[in-house]
């Protein structure tokens, strides 16, 4: 019992996530949980592991190696050891592992964990690309298109497990913190996915107008889209505007200043928390993980709004949307696009039919289908499940949903009894997808469909 109590003197939150093994060893020695001889033994085992890894690095030809390379390999080894140890739930169990298991075996367990995390991160990236938003921001697009993938191309878990060989320019609204290697990229992609999940609850056209109101050249700015969307959505609720519109007029911003100034940090916190609860209830009432992610960012939003109140700069935090001519015109012109070559189309269909996993099918569709005409045919021919069709619909813009709905839901040129099984399936999925969206989204789909020219 006394030993267990001593182990609990190590506070997990005090340990460094990036240099976990070193910080655990230091804390254990400080609290007399490891004797001098035990620490020395662990250090000697780490040197033996380094010698083995250097031999592997040189493929057995020579033991000579540059100092900086040896230091990097040692850091990689220590990172892998720490990765496994931090997966153990309690500090007592961690110390027991150090006392009873060899460094070589701990390393092997850590290396297996890296492989598992790599597999998980690759799957996460597929999901993040699937639910990506449509935006002109270059940093967002370059990061999701090429930057993250560079990690999986350049990552060397055997000798550089602590490195992050990726070009990640787009910053998340919740900073990753002190993580390295596969842990960093896994947490980054996860955050990217949740931010996409939230932003996709709003029409892409509205987000574009919001960011244009922030700066005409937003596509070249290093900004976080989710932060702007969340902040303005909360501001809309405070102004009694539909949150889905993401727009607060200059007059409404002045009214907010009159209503709440002066305001204490605690009072503002209460106001924002109530607004967020309404936002959560309206947009993501059942997505617990997304709720947790957004709530983590709330203190930053509250701090920015509070600073703006005190500096007469609320107009810089709550943005008035700037609508382009294309966004405000009353009539839409839409083309289903031309069809691809029949042979190429058949190959795409065959590839999808041979796929076992839904994520792979969706990826094939995203990479090969570039017109609604082909997409509509594919949704009839590819024998997709309802769940898979809904995933495809979830990747489309609101104008594309409206165009499909006009042809498959709102058209009076066909009788239901005359529809094929696949046509009925698409109709059913379209109807379900539109109905599960927010009232503002549903109304906008109907309005866009009405204004579309014959298609």
Question: CA-CA-CA-CA torsion for 133, 136, 139, 143, nearest 10 degrees?
Answer: 40
- Do 321 and 216 sit in the same domain of this protein? yes
- Taking the model in full, what pTM does it have? 0.72
Domain interval for residue 8? 2-114
Q: What is 2-33 written as a DSSP string?
A: HHHHHHTTS-GGGS-STTHHHHHHHHHHHTTS
**Are 418 and 308 members of one domain?**
no
pLDDT, tens digit, 9 for 90 and up, residues 269-300 = 999 999 999 999 999 888 999 999 999 999 99
Q: Is residue 352 part of a domain?
A: yes
Cα separation, 314 vs 283, whole angstroms: 25
Same-domain status, 356 and 267: no
370 lies in some domain: yes
So what's the pLDDT on residue 297?
97
Instruction: For the beta carbon of residue 251, count every other beta carbon within 10 angstroms.
Output: 10
Question: Residue 19: its pLDDT value, please?
Answer: 94
| One domain for residues 209 and 279 | yes
What does the pLDDT read at residue 336? 58
Query: Which among 114, 132, 154 is the end of a domain?
Result: 114
Q: What is the pLDDT of residue 428?
A: 86
* C-beta of residue 79 within 8 angstroms of C-beta of residue 180: yes
- Asked if residue 277 and residue 303 are part of one domain, the reply reads yes
Among the three residues 281, 299, 325, which one is the final residue of a domain in this structure?
325
Same domain membership, residue 298 and residue 356: no
Burial of 328 (0-12, 13-18, 19+ CB in 10 A): exposed
Specify if 149 maps to a domain.
Answer: no
Q: 161 and 56 in contact (C-beta within 8 Å)?
A: no
**∠ CA 157-163-169, rounded to 5°:** 130
> For the chain, how many structural domains are there in total?
3
274 and 359 share one domain: no
Residue 151 falls inside a structural domain = no
Q: Residue 326 has what pLDDT?
A: 44
Instruction: Provide the 8-state DSSP code for 332.
Output: B
Residue ending a domain, among 266, 294, 325, is 325
Residue 74 lies in a domain: yes
Please check whether residues 292 and 403 belong to one and the same domain: no
Gap between the Cα atoms of 87 and 301, Å rounded: 32
pLDDT of residue 324: 60
Q: What is the mean pLDDT of each run of 10 residues along the chain (455 residues)?
A: 55 89 94 94 96 90 83 97 94 93 98 97 91 89 92 96 95 93 97 95 90 94 97 95 91 93 93 96 91 97 95 94 57 55 85 81 79 82 85 80 81 56 84 81 78 58
DSSP state, residue 133 = P
* Domain contains 13: yes
Let me know if residue 320 belongs to a domain: yes
101 and 17 assigned to the same domain = yes
134 within a domain of the structure (yes/no):
no
Tell me, yes or no, whether 318 and 354 share the same domain. no
CB of 330 within 8 A of CB of 452?
no
Q: Using CA atoms, how far apart are residues 382 and 370, in angstroms rounded to an integer? A: 16
Mark whether 316 and 378 lie in a shared domain: no
Q: Are residues 288 and 228 in the same domain?
A: yes
pLDDT at residue number 43:
96
Phi, psi of 332 (to 5 degrees): -100, 150
């Amino acid at each position: 019992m006394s030993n267990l109590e001593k182990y609990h003197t190590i506070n997990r939150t005090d340990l460094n996530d990036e240099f976990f093994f070193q910080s655990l060893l230091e804390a254990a020695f400080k609290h007399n949980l490891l004797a001098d001889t035990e620490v020395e033994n662990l250090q000697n085992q780490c040197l033996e592991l380094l010698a083995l890894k250097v031999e592997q690095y040189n493929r057995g030809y020579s033991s000579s190696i540059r100092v900086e390379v040896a230091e990097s390999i040692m850091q990689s080894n220590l990172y892998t050891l720490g990765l496994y140890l931090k997966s153990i739930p309690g500090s007592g169990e961690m110390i027991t592992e150090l006392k009873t298991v060899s460094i070589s075996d701990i390393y092997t367990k850590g290396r297996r964990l890296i492989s598992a995390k790599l597999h998980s991160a690759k799957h996460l990236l597929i999901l993040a690309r699937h639910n990506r938003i449509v935006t002109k921001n270059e940093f967002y697009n370059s990061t999701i298109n090429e930057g993250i993938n560079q990690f999986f191309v350049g990552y060397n878990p055997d000798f550089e497990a602590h490195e992050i060989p990726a070009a990640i320019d787009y910053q998340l609204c919740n900073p990753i913190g002190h993580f390295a290697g596969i842990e960093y990229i896994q947490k980054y992609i996860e955050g990217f996915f949740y931010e996409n999940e939230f932003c996709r609850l709003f029409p892409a056209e509205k987000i574009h107008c919001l960011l244009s109101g922030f700066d005409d050249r937003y596509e070249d700015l290093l900004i976080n889209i989710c932060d702007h969307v969340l902040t303005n959505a909360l501001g809309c609720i405070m102004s009694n505007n539909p949150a889905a519109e993401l727009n607060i007029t200059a007059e409404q911003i002045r009214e907010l200043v009159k209503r709440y100034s002066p305001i204490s940090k605690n009072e503002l916190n209460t106001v924002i928390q109530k607004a967020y609860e309404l936002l959560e209830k309206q947009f993501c009432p059942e997505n617990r993980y997304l709720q947790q992610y957004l709530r983590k960012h709330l203190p930053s939003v509250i701090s920015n709004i509070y600073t703006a109140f005190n500096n007469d700069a609320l107009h810089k935090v709550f943005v008035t949307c700037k609508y382009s001519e294309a966004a405000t015109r009353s009539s839409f012109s839409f083309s289903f696009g031309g069809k691809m070559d029949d042979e190429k189309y058949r190959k795409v269909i065959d590839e999808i039919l041979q796929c076992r996993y839904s994520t792979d099918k969706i990826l094939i569709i995203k990479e090969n289908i570039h017109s609604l005409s082909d997409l509509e045919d594919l949704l009839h021919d590819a024998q997709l499940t309802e769940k898979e069709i809904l995933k495809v619909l979830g990747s489309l813009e609101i104008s594309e949903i409206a165009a499909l709905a006009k042809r498959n839901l709102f058209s009076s040129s066909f009788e239901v009894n005359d529809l094929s099984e696949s046509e009925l399936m698409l109709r059913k999925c379209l109807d379900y997808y539109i109905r599960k969206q927010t009232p503002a989204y549903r109304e906008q789909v109907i309005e866009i469909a009405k204004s579309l020219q014959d298609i």
